[in-house]
């Protein structure tokens, strides 16, 4: 009965060391990403950070990251979606058939496929939200159903190639508006602008925190952290500029990430999803329509899975019955590596994106090193386990 | 005096807090020893040390039990010595039978195979001992909380208990189950079992306890011998809170206005057993500035009535009308009920009232996010200001509004729940057991808040199992029995005896 109120009142001016120790959980995964990248940069003799490889890294992981955004919402709301890999395959197949066999134009196919994705999400979300069938079971069924349907749609064949306009979804690059071409000045300008915007936002938020006397990080740490991130953004933009510029899919990904980060942090819908995952009954008794919210989380997931399916198909320039196999595992792993909780209510968009990049860099780095797929799986599995143990360990230490 | 337990100079610190400071605690053999104190006084910490939850070495001081110094490595050690603690949150497996639960981890086996006939036979004997008339094969799930409590005690008896510790055993029990439990404690005492009873209910303590030890802020304040002379409740309360509590219920001069809420012909059926009617033709009115109580035993349908009113959160086939200020309102969903001016503060704040993982601010604004947002985007400053406002006016003791509510004490958690509902701006608040499981000081603050709400011209419906609380707080009291409101009494005429007789006559 007698709980002890912890006195977490911050000391007047925490040192960088103290602050870092207290917020290890927040920065841990970002730090881990940096360390992993540095490690592979070393052991691959600089291949990892070569412009062409960075471009590849983004193209290879874009669909995982896009789905991780939706999966984060699903997991925060206390559910799981195992069907996304099959939905990727199915939507890719449907898009291919429409484009290649029916010769429909790209601008028609893309919206139709997004709607198909939403319908798939709605069909699964309906049972989960309104009938309270466990999401694990509903989406496990979905995983089988849509894998089967993609085989059926493609008649077991690969379908392709696609018109140029569809391929641009994945393999296109933002053209250089300044006409230089190499290096791509637009990419550099956008990179600098993004870094500037990031710094501006960080400074504004810090000023606001200070105004209300909230727990702020030490100034030196603030400068160092944001400085490093800004330099990193500009540096990566430069790397990409020296190759072919910014991939279209990077823009899509970045915009979606910003939208979902805003949605989870600053909107009432986002807030309600966290409350739903944290305590569904309390949320319901606070007047929140928990069923509809759960339903919408799955509709959203379906839409993002459809987008990912089209991007993946566009990248391979063909739809195959095997497309998207086991993607759900990478997506779910990314979200958990990023700090989300299995029981719901906890997790951040940026965490999920960092988690996806950790998986992506490891895949890429190990492939460059020529490590066999067998060892790759073992290592990835252990990293997932280690990340979650680290998380739980930190949580226990705090309480 | 024959001492069974002696805890000397016990100190225990958590990061930032000294939970126990040189506590001395002695229990005489064969007595019922009550341990009281406000939340945070250190009762649970002391008992966790005694039961081995905090093992030897994590605290200072020494324990002598039955003449032997104890150095406990864990709960298993303390149970082997005959010290058994029954926690407030019962540790039973709902989908196992009574017999399986009693011998869980302690199975009666013959060459590794469970001896079921023997298990059942011994369970039956134990159940007879605790006065529980159930089959040993019955699932724990199918029993009420009161009976589950008895199963816990039977389980303790199966382990040859010498010292039984009960942490708020009656908190979730209704009046007659509580009485039965206390009778059982007296009976166990007659058989030579010593018990330590932690409770907030002073009337129960004065009924059964031989000695009372009061803890405050991690130190022993007093040890009172009840057998030598009668110890007054006022004395105990004074020791608990460290000040005289002249009135347990703050004064209020009621200013009652027009009829605010009017519930007519309310009928509710059980959500699973569709042939069972839970609420029968209930009619109730609440006026502006009035505190209306609902008395009744647990299971009489009070909570079900409140929850069915509040957005049909309970039951099916609900019929009846709800009027606010004479106009019929739609309460068919929680959202509509809230928008139409109702609020319901649940009896189970942890499971139904709060998102424990989230901070004080986010819990306060949860039911009225529209109040701190524009076009679906939350205004951080407005939200923070709203939370700070309630932290101040409600006296929520927390280092900041960004503290997770799970780190708050029960009383402060309850204030967060009340803040959440006040921020939604209701005209009528239904408070379901608002002071359950919170200490005397916090109770007094909650009463003050209730009076303030009434003074603001809101209507308050107060549901409570503690009759003195209803008598002390309400202007009018409805009596509920078996799903029907069987009568009402103005506060001036009400007494515990009258209410009880209305319940019994139905």
pLDDT tens-place string over residues B288-313: 999 999 998 767 889 999 999 999 98
pLDDT at B118 over 50: yes
Which of A6, A271, A289 has the CB atom closest to B369's CB atom?
A: A271
Burial class (CB in 10 A: 0-12, 13-18, 19+), B392: exposed
**DSSP code, position B144:** -
Q: What is the pLDDT of residue A25?
A: 64
Q: Which of A11, A210, A282 to mutate to test the interface with B (most CBs of B within 10 A)?
A: A282
Place of tokens 């379906």: A302
Q: Distance (Å, rounded) from C-alpha B294 to C-alpha B488?
A: 9
Q: Are B421 and B393 in contact (CB under 8 A)?
A: no
Residue A13: CB atoms within 10 A of its CB come to 10
List C-alpha distances in Å: A18 to A11, A34, A218: 10, 21, 10
Where does the pLDDT of residue B207 fall: very low under 50, low under 70, confident under 90, or very high at 90 and above?
confident
Q: Distance (Å, rounded) from C-alpha B394 to C-alpha B424?
A: 15
Chain B interface includes A266 (CB < 8 A): yes
Burial class (CB in 10 A: 0-12, 13-18, 19+), B51: buried
C-beta atoms of B378 and A267 within 8 A? yes
Closest of A113, A71, A106 to residue A92, by C-alpha:
A113
Q: What is the pLDDT of residue B347?
A: 87
Most confidently modeled range among B84-93, B443-452, B488-497: B443-452
Contact residues on chain A for B377, CB-CB shorter than 8 A = 266-268
pLDDT at B495 over 90: no
B334 or B505, greater pLDDT: B334
Q: Are A135 and A128 in contact (CB under 8 A)?
A: yes
Q: What is the pLDDT of residue A10?
A: 41
Mean pLDDT in residue range B404-426: 91
C-beta atoms of B39 and A1 within 8 A? yes
Q: Distance (Å, rounded) from C-alpha A353 to C-alpha A344?
A: 18
Residue of B nearest to A286 (CA): B367
Where does the pLDDT of residue B15 fall: very low under 50, low under 70, confident under 90, or very high at 90 and above?
low
pLDDT above 90 coverage of chain A, percent: 65
pLDDT at A1 over 50: no
Q: Are B483 and B277 in contact (CB under 8 A)?
A: yes
Which of B335, B399, B400 has the CB atom closest to A287's CB atom?
A: B335
Residue B271: CB atoms within 10 A of its CB come to 14
**Considering chain B, what is the average pLDDT of its residues?**
88
Which of B333, B354, B370 has the CB atom closest to A282's CB atom?
A: B354
Helix A349-368 × helix A373-398 angle, to 10°: 150
Residue A259: CB atoms within 10 A of its CB come to 12
Task: Measure in Å the smallest separation between the Cα of A84 and chain B Cα atoms.
Answer: 28
Residue B403: CB atoms within 10 A of its CB come to 22
**B263: which 2 tokens?**
């519930």
Most confidently modeled range among A66-80, B78-92, B219-233, B294-308: A66-80
Give the residues across from B430 on adjacent strands.
B344, B461
A275 or B230, greater pLDDT: A275
Q: How far apart are the first and last CA of chain B?
A: 49
Which of B313, B335, B399 has the CB atom closest to A7's CB atom?
A: B399
Q: Distance (Å, rounded) from C-alpha B152 to C-alpha B217?
A: 30
Mention every residue, 6+ apart, whose C-beta is less than 8 A from residue B319.
Answer: B265, B266, B267
Chain B interface includes A7 (CB < 8 A): yes
Mean pLDDT in residue range B327-345: 94
Pairing status of strand B32-36 against strand B211-216: parallel
Give the residues across from B279 on adjacent strands.
B268
**DSSP code, position A3:** P
Q: Tens digits of per-residue pLDDT, A179-194?
A: 777 788 888 999 999 9
Q: Which of A21, A210, A285 to mutate to test the interface with B (most CBs of B within 10 A)?
A: A285
Q: Tens digits of per-residue pLDDT, B425-482?
A: 999 999 999 988 787 788 889 999 999 999 999 999 999 988 888 988 999 999 998 8
**What would the 3-class secondary structure string for B285-349 be?**
EEECCCEEEEECCCCCCHHHHHHHHCCCCCCEEEEEEEEECCEECCCCCHHHHHHCCEEEECCCH
Q: Tens digits of per-residue pLDDT, A316-367?
A: 999 999 999 999 999 999 999 988 988 899 999 999 999 999 999 999 999 9
DSSP reduced 3-state for B17:
strand
Task: Measure in Å the smallest separation between the Cα of B67 and chain A Cα atoms.
Answer: 29
DSSP reduced 3-state for B143:
coil
Q: Distance (Å, rounded) from C-alpha A302 to C-alpha A314?
A: 18
What are the two backbone dihedrals, phi and then psi, of residue B164, each rounded to the nearest 5 degrees? Answer: -105, 125
B17 or A366, greater pLDDT: A366
Q: What is the pLDDT of residue B174?
A: 75
Q: Distance (Å, rounded) from C-alpha A338 to C-alpha A33?
A: 11
C-beta atoms of A287 and B338 within 8 A? yes
Mean pLDDT in residue range B168-194: 85
Closest of A121, A88, A120 to residue A322, by C-alpha:
A88
CA neighbours closer than 13 Å in the CB half-sphere of residue A211:
10
Which of A8, A279, A284 has the CB atom closest to B334's CB atom?
A: A284
Mention every residue, 6+ apart, whose C-beta is less than 8 A from residue B198.
Answer: A1, B34, B35, B36, B43, B44, B47, B165, B166, B167, B168
Residue of A nearest to B401 (CA): A214
Closest of B87, B81, B39, B89 to residue B56, by C-alpha:
B81
Task: Measure in Å the smallest separation between the Cα of B278 and chain A Cα atoms.
Answer: 20
Chain B interface includes A272 (CB < 8 A): yes
Sign of the four-CA dihedral B249, B255, B260, B262: positive
Q: What is the pLDDT of residue A106?
A: 94
Q: What is the pLDDT of residue B130?
A: 87
Contact residues on chain A for B313, CB-CB shorter than 8 A = 284-285
Helix B116-130 × helix B145-158 angle, to 10°: 120
Q: Distance (Å, rounded) from C-alpha A81 to C-alpha A327?
A: 11
Q: What is the pLDDT of residue B265?
A: 94
Contact residues on chain A for B42, CB-CB shorter than 8 A = 2
Task: Measure in Å the smallest separation between the Cα of A211 and chain B Cα atoms.
Answer: 10
This prediction has a pTM of: 0.81
Chain B interface includes A225 (CB < 8 A): no
Mention every residue, 6+ apart, whose C-beta is less than 8 A from residue A382.
Answer: none
Secondary structure element (H or E) that encloses residue B339, with its range = helix B334-339
What are the two backbone dihedrals, phi and then psi, of residue B4, each rounded to the nearest 5 degrees? Answer: -90, -35
Q: What is the pLDDT of residue B227?
A: 81
Interface of A with B in 189-208 (CB under 8 A): 208
Give the residues across from B268 on adjacent strands.
B279
In this predicted complex, what is the ipTM? 0.85
Radius of gyration (C-alpha) of chain A in whole angstroms: 22
Radius of gyration (C-alpha) of chain B in whole angstroms: 24
Q: Are A307 and A166 in contact (CB under 8 A)?
A: no
List C-alpha distances in Å: A356 to A250, A312, A330, A362: 14, 16, 8, 10
Which of A5, A272, A288 has the CB atom closest to B409's CB atom?
A: A5
Where does the pLDDT of residue A6 fall: very low under 50, low under 70, confident under 90, or very high at 90 and above?
very low
**DSSP code, position A242:** T
Q: Are A63 and A281 in contact (CB under 8 A)?
A: no
Residue of A nearest to B350 (CA): A282
Preceding peptide of B298 cis, ω within 30°: no
CA dihedral A68, A261, A258, B401 (to 10 degrees): -160
Q: Distance (Å, rounded) from C-alpha B332 to C-alpha B345?
A: 18
């Amino acid at each position: 009965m007698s709980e002890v109120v912890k006195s977490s009142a911050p000391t007047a001016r925490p040192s960088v060391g103290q602050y870092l120790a207290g917020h290890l959980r927040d920065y841990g995964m970002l730090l881990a990403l940096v360390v992993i990248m540095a490690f592979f940069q070393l052991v691959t003799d600089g291949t990892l950070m070569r412009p062409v490889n960075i471009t590849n890294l983004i193209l290879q992981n874009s669909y995982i990251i896009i789905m991780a955004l939706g999966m984060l919402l699903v997991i925060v709301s206390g559910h799981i979606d195992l069907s996304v890999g099959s939905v990727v395959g199915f939507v890719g197949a449907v898009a291919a058939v429409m484009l290649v066999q029916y010769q429909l134009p790209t601008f028609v196919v893309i919206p139709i496929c997004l709607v198909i994705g939403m319908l798939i999400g709605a069909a699964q979300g309906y049972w989960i939200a309104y009938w309270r069938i466990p999401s694990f079971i509903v989406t496990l069924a979905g995983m089988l159903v849509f894998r089967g349907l993609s085989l059926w749609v493609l008649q077991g064949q690969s379908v392709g190639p696609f018109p140029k306009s569809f391929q641009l979804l994945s393999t296109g690059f933002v053209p250089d508006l300044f006409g230089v071409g190499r290096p791509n000045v637009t990419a550099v300008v956008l990179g600098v602008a993004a870094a500037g915007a990031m710094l501006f936002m960080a400074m504004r938020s810090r000023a606001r925190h200070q105004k209300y006397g909230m727990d702020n990080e030490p100034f030196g740490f603030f400068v160092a952290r944001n400085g490093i991130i800004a330099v990193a953004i500009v540096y990566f933009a430069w790397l990409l500029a020296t190759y072919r510029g910014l991939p279209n899919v990077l823009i899509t990904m970045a915009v979606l990430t910003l939208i979902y980060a805003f949605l989870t942090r600053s909107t009432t819908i986002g807030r309600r999803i966290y409350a739903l995952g944290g305590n569904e009954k309390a949320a319901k008794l606070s007047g929140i329509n928990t069923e509809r919210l759960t339903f919408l989380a799955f509709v959203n997931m379906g839409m993002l899975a459809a987008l990912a399916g089209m991007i993946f198909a566009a990248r391979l320039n063909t739809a195959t019955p095997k497309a998207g196999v086991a993607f759900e595992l990478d997506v779910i792993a990314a979200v958990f590596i990023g700090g989300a909780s299995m029981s719901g209510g906890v997790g951040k968009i940026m965490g999920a994106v960092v988690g996806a990049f950790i998986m992506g860099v490891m895949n890429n780095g190990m492939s460059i090193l020529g490590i066999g797929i067998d060892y790759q799986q073992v290592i990835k599995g252990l990293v997932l386990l280690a990340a979650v143990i680290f998380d739980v360990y930190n949580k226990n230490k705090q309480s | 005096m024959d001492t069974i337990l002696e805890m000397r100079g016990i100190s225990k610190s958590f990061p930032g807090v000294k939970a126990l400071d040189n506590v001395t605690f002695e229990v005489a053999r064969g007595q019922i020893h009550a341990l009281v104190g406000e939340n945070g006084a250190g009762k649970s910490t002391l008992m966790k040390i005694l039961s081995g939850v905090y093992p030897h070495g994590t605290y200072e001081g020494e324990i002598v039990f039955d003449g032997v110094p104890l150095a406990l490595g864990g709960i298993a050690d303390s149970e082997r010595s005959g010290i058994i603690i029954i926690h407030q949150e019962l540790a039973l497996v709902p989908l196992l039978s009574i017999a399986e639960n009693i011998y869980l981890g302690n199975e009666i086996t013959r060459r590794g195979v469970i001896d079921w006939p023997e298990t059942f036979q011994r369970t039956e004997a134990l159940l007879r001992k605790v006065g529980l008339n159930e089959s040993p094969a019955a699932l724990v799930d199918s029993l009420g909380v009161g009976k589950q409590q008895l199963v816990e005690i039977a389980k303790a008896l199966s382990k040859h208990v010498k010292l039984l510790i009960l942490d708020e055993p009656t908190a979730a029990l209704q009046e007659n189950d509580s009485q039965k439990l206390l009778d059982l404690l007296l009976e166990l005492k007659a058989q030579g079992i010593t018990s330590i009873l932690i409770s907030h209910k002073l009337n129960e303590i004065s009924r059964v306890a031989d000695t009372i030890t009061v803890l405050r802020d991690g130190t022993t304040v007093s040890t009172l011998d009840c057998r030598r002379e009668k110890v007054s409740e006022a004395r105990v309360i004074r020791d608990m809170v460290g000040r005289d509590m002249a009135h347990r219920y703050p004064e209020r001069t009621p200013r009652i206005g027009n009829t605010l809420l009017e519930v007519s012909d309310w009928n509710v059926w059980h959500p699973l057993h569709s042939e069972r009617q839970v609420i029968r033709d209930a009619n109730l009115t609440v006026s502006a500035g009035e505190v209306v109580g609902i008395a009744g035993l647990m299971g009489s349908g009070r909570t079900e009535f409140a929850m069915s009113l509040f957005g049909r959160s309970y039951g099916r086939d609900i019929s009846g009308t709800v009027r606010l200020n004479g106009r019929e309102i739609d309460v068919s969903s929680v959202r509509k009920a809230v928008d139409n001016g109702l609020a319901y503060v649940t009896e189970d704040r942890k499971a139904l009232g709060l998102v424990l993982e989230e901070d004080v601010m986010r819990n306060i604004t949860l039911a009225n996010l529209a109040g701190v947002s524009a076009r679906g985007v939350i205004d951080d400053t407005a939200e923070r200001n709203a939370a700070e406002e309630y932290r101040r006016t409600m006296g929520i003791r927390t280092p900041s509004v960004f503290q997770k509510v799970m780190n708050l004490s029960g009383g402060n958690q309850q204030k967060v729940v009340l803040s959440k509902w006040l921020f939604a701006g209701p005209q009528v608040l239904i408070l379901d057991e608002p002071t359950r499981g919170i200490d005397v000081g916090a109770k007094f603050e909650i009463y003050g808040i209730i009076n303030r709400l009434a003074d603001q011209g809101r209507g308050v419906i107060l549901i409570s199992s503690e009759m003195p609380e209803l008598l002390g707080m309400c202007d009018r009291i409805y009596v509920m029995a078996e799903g029907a409101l069987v009568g009402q009494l103005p506060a001036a005429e009400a007494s515990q005896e009258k209410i009880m007789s209305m319940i019994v006559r139905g």
